[in-house]
């Protein structure tokens, strides 16, 4: 019996026993769909982390001079206390680096805190107020959708002007234009001169709930003590130039802090590498744990198929006896049952792939997790599905093939 006959027969049997087939392919279905969904999430988050997250938080080819790293997972209390004892970054530090760097860069000051912004009787709470210098928009890649950013002149003079995040503009002004209107921040009126285009969200955190004002405007007192910065942002043209700039900035800062050669830095020159390294660690764990879970569920799926096939062999003993009496050889019977288990597993895997893709789309729609289908997982799912059918089908099929036709025919 040729293979395609065996598969035709298998499909007929599966269609004739729909309910039983559905149960037997459930295991593989669950395994493959969860494989694809989890790989999609891990793949999506991975891309998100390396492409968007790091860039949004830090900017491309950008480093930040800070008292402590911005992204600090799993840090013990002792380290936190040591960070808190460090001197803060001063305006003068930023100015010294700006004039000391020989690499062409653009720089910005940045200090932030949560405030309430109001317009008339409307209030927007928990808004991130950032007091920054004018190049902040370039470094953070914030495009202005409406109006304009503030200028260097406005920054230096501390003009009370504000650029709103999209969510703040919507909250306070609904559909009317905020340009030229006056919002109050810490009791001081600020004239709205621009609105930043929609930024979306990052892992569920909205990115549009902010206001940017000039670093030297009155609001600087809301975010930091006088003369103090949260971060000094430096953006170079390339990765190589950024590294050169970091080396120069480190030298300048160590000199300013009077550190001896053996003393550690009491400041950080923070880049997106930290986040990426942290994520790479999580990603490595995920990429070993997920296949492990999938393997377990695949084995369970395989055992389900094996059991159902053993039942099928027992139920169809007479049919096997008949087929043998009509000239079926061992390999014909073997093929018939192997084809059946493989077809069940492959159909399960196919539905699993569809469900996995559906799940990925759904996750993208309704959850903050970014998911993107990894082609390898679809391919792997298909191969594993068929593989499970073959591996776990061998034992039942060989039992069927070895049946003695006389005994098999006599069975009631």
Interface residues with another protein (CB under 8 A) are 1-2, 5, 12, 16, 318-319, 322-332, 405-406, 409
The whole-angstrom separation of Cα 79 and Cα 140 is: 29
User: How far apart are CB 16 and another protein at their closest, in Å?
Assistant: 5
CB 326 to another protein: min, Å: 5
Q: Is residue 132 within 8 Å of residue 231, measured between CB atoms? A: no
Output 1 or 300, the one with its CB closest to another protein. Answer: 1
C-alpha to C-alpha distance for 148 and 357, rounded to whole angstroms: 42
Residues 6 or more apart from 97 whose CB is under 8 A from it? Answer: 65, 107, 232, 234, 248, 249, 252, 253
Structure tokens at 258: 């009077």
Given the complex with another protein, which of 12 and 265 has the nearer CB atom? 12
- What is the distance between the alpha carbons of residues 17 and 14, in angstroms, rounded to a whole number? 5
- 374 touches 294 (CB < 8 A): no
CB of 308 to another protein, least distance (A): 17
In the bound state with another protein, the residue whose beta carbon lies nearer, of 16 and 84, is 16
Nearer residue to another protein within complex by CB, 4 or 205 = 4
Smallest gap from Cβ 397 to another protein, in A, equals 16
Smallest gap, in angstroms, from Cβ of residue 284 to another protein? Answer: 51
Structure token digits, residue 53: 């997250």
Q: How far is the CB of 47 from another protein (least distance, A)?
A: 49
What is the nearest approach in angstroms of another protein to the Cβ of residue 389?
22
Q: Give which of 287, 316, 401, 391 is closest to 346, Cα–Cα.
A: 391
> Which of 284, 285, 302, 344 minimizes the C-alpha distance to 31?
302
Q: Which helix (DSSP H) or strand (DSSP E) does residue 125 occupy?
A: strand 122-132
CB 64 within 8 A of CB 234: yes
Identity of the residue, 20 or 256, whose beta carbon is nearer to another protein in the bound complex: 20
Complex with another protein: residue 140 or 316, whichever CB lies closer: 316
Q: Which of 5, 273 has the CB closer to another protein? A: 5
Return the residue matching tokens 């942290």.
278
């Amino acid at each position: 019996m040729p293979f395609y006959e065996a598969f035709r027969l298998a499909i007929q049997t599966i269609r004739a026993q729909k309910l039983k087939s559905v149960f037997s392919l459930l295991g593989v279905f669950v395994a493959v769909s969860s494989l694809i969904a989890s790989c999609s999430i891990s793949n999506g988050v991975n891309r998100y982390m390396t492409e968007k997250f790091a860039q949004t938080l830090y900017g491309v080819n950008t480093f930040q001079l800070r008292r402590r790293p911005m992204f600090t997972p799993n840090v013990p209390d002792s380290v936190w206390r040591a960070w808190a004892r460090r001197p803060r970054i001063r305006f003068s530090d930023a100015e010294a680096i700006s004039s000391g760097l020989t690499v062409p860069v653009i720089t910005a000051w940045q200090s932030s805190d949560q405030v309430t912004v109001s317009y008339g009787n409307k209030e927007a709470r928990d808004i991130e107020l950032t007091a920054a210098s004018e190049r902040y928009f370039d470094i953070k890649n914030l495009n202005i959708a409406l109006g304009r950013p503030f200028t260097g002149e406005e920054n230096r003079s501390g003009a009370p002007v504000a650029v709103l995040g999209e969510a703040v503009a919507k909250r306070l002004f609904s559909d009317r234009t905020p340009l030229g209107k006056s919002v109050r921040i810490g009791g001081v009126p600020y004239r709205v001169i621009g609105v930043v285009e929609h930024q979306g969200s990052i892992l569920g955190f909205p990115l549009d709930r902010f206001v940017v004002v000039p670093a030297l405007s009155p609001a600087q007192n809301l975010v930091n003590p006088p003369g103090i910065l949260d971060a000094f942002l430096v953006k170079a043209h390339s990765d190589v130039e950024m590294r050169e700039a970091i080396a120069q900035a480190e030298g300048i800062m160590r000199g300013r802090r009077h550190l001896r050669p053996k003393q550690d830095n009491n400041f950080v020159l923070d880049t997106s590498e930290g986040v990426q390294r942290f994520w790479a660690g999580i990603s490595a764990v995920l990429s070993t744990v997920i296949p492990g879970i999938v393997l377990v569920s695949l084995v369970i799926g395989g055992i389900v198929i094996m059991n159902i096939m053993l039942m099928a062999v027992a139920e169809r003993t007479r049919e096997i006896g008949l087929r043998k009496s009509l000239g079926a050889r061992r390999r014909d019977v073997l093929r018939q049952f192997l084809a059946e288990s493989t077809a069940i597993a492959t159909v399960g895997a196919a539905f699993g792939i569809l469900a996995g893709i559906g799940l990925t789309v759904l996750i993208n729609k309704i959850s903050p997790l970014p998911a993107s289908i990894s082609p390898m997982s679809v391919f792997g799912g298909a191969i594993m599905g068929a593989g499970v059918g073959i591996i776990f089908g061998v034992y039942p099929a060989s039992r069927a093939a070895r049946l003695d036709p006389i005994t098999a025919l006599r069975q009631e």
